[in-house]
């Protein structure tokens, strides 16, 4: 008996890296896994349905239960077909793990509209379409009198939480996902749905290129960048045990679980009247002197 025994989970981008680690871990804890992946390149080009087939075969070989799915999460109708196929195969749906994403690294001064739109499309629209159809399914179940204990697990990033040089589009999309998570948590609790987000740090196709030195394993007794290190927290968030946790963003790396503190009100000064423009500078300087120093944007000195 695992902590997700009998629960059904859709994982997007499930064929490689973090998604594959999540799929294997959920299956090992008794979940029915729908491994969704269209098998694109890191930049989002091309298709390869065998990628999803491989992780499903691996789950089944280990005694788990899984099906592959090759639908495009950014397509509204296709996203509904993912939910419908899941319900048809397993009789229901309990967890959506929005993991799929692409990256188009580019300094802002060189960014193109096409790269910007592609990044927003996969990350933001992809998170929206599948989750929206899943929520329709869960609301219908609740209206029918079923007890709903559902989970949305989104994927943000350190880049989205603090910014990253040469990743304006990616950082913007991931920051938007963090904000989306807060809204989902606030709105969907009444239906028995929680929403949380992850900012995982692990070895993937994306990070191996951007952070090759950090991803290296030479001389390590514990491989902190193994994607499998992230999976236990994701599986727990998908379990019935996490019903009391919603609206949180967790930064995960190796054996570390860090709860993000988020934007909150900082130092304040109130003149009690309209400011004169010439006086604003001194007031802002005073606020800057009082604030807690923010984390630096990735890639800055």
**Domain CATH code at residue 97:** 3.40.50.720
Note the pLDDT tens digit of each residue in 247-285: 999 999 999 999 999 889 999 999 999 999 999 999 999
Note the pLDDT tens digit of each residue in 48-73: 889 899 999 999 999 999 999 999 99
User: Is 145 within a domain?
Assistant: yes
User: Is 265 within a domain?
Assistant: no
User: Is 52 within a domain?
Assistant: yes
Spatial contact of 9 and 26, defined as CB atoms under 8 Å apart: yes
Note the pLDDT tens digit of each residue in 168-195: 999 999 999 999 999 999 999 999 999 9
Spatial contact of 238 and 98, defined as CB atoms under 8 Å apart: no
User: Is 286 within a domain?
Assistant: no
Q: Which residues are catalytic?
A: 157, 170, 174
Residue 118 tokens read as 């592609």
User: Is 212 within a domain?
Assistant: yes
Q: Which domain holds residue 244?
A: 8-259
198-237 in b/e form (b: 16+ CB < 10 A) is bbbbbbbebbeebeeeebeeeeeeeebbebebbbbbbbbb
User: Is 285 within a domain?
Assistant: no
Element of type H or E holding 161: helix 158-162
Q: Structure pTM? A: 0.92
Select from 65, 71, 35 the least CA-distant residue to 53: 35
Q: Give me the number of domains the chain comprises.
A: 1
If you average pLDDT over residues 79-92, what whole number do you get? Answer: 98
Q: What is the pLDDT of residue 6?
A: 97
Note the pLDDT tens digit of each residue in 199-234: 999 986 555 555 455 545 556 688 999 999 999 999
User: Is 276 within a domain?
Assistant: no
Q: What is the pLDDT of residue 47?
A: 72
User: Is 92 within a domain?
Assistant: yes
Q: Give the C-alpha distances (Å, rounded to integers) separating 143 from 41, 51, 195.
A: 41, 37, 20
């Amino acid at each position: 008996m695992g902590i997700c025994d009998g629960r059904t989970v859709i994982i997007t981008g499930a064929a490689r890296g973090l998604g594959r680690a999540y799929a294997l871990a959920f299956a090992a804890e008794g979940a029915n896994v729908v491994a969704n992946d269209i098998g694109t390149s890191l930049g989002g080009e091309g298709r390869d349905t065998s990628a999803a087939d491989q992780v499903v075969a691996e789950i089944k070989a280990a005694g788990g239960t899984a099906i592959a799915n090759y639908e495009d999460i950014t397509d509204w109708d296709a996203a509904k077909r993912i939910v419908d196929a899941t319900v048809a195969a397993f009789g229901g749906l309990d967890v959506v793990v929005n993991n799929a994403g692409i990256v188009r690294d580019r300094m802002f001064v060189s960014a193109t509209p096409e790269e910007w739109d592609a990044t927003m499309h996969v990350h933001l629209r992809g998170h929206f379409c599948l989750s929206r159809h899943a929520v329709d399914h869960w609301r219908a179940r609740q209206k029918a009198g079923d007890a709903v204990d559902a989970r949305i697990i989104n994927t943000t990033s350190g880049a989205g939480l603090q910014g990253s040089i040469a990743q304006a589009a990616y950082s913007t999309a991931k920051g938007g996902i963090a904000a989306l998570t807060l809204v989902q948590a606030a709105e969907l609790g009444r239906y028995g749905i929680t929403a949380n987000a992850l900012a995982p740090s692990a070895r993937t196709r994306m990070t191996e290129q951007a952070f090759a030195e950090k991803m290296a394993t030479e001389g390590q007794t514990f491989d902190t960048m193994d994607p499998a290190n992230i999976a236990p927290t994701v599986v727990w968030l998908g379990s019935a045990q996490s019903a009391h946790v919603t609206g949180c963003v967790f930064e995960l790396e190796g054996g570390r679980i860090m709860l993000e503190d988020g934007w909150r009100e900082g130092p304040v000064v109130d003149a009690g009247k309209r400011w004169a423009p010439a006086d604003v500078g001194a007031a802002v300087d005073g606020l800057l002197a009082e604030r807690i120093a923010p984390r630096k944007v990735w890639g800055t000195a």
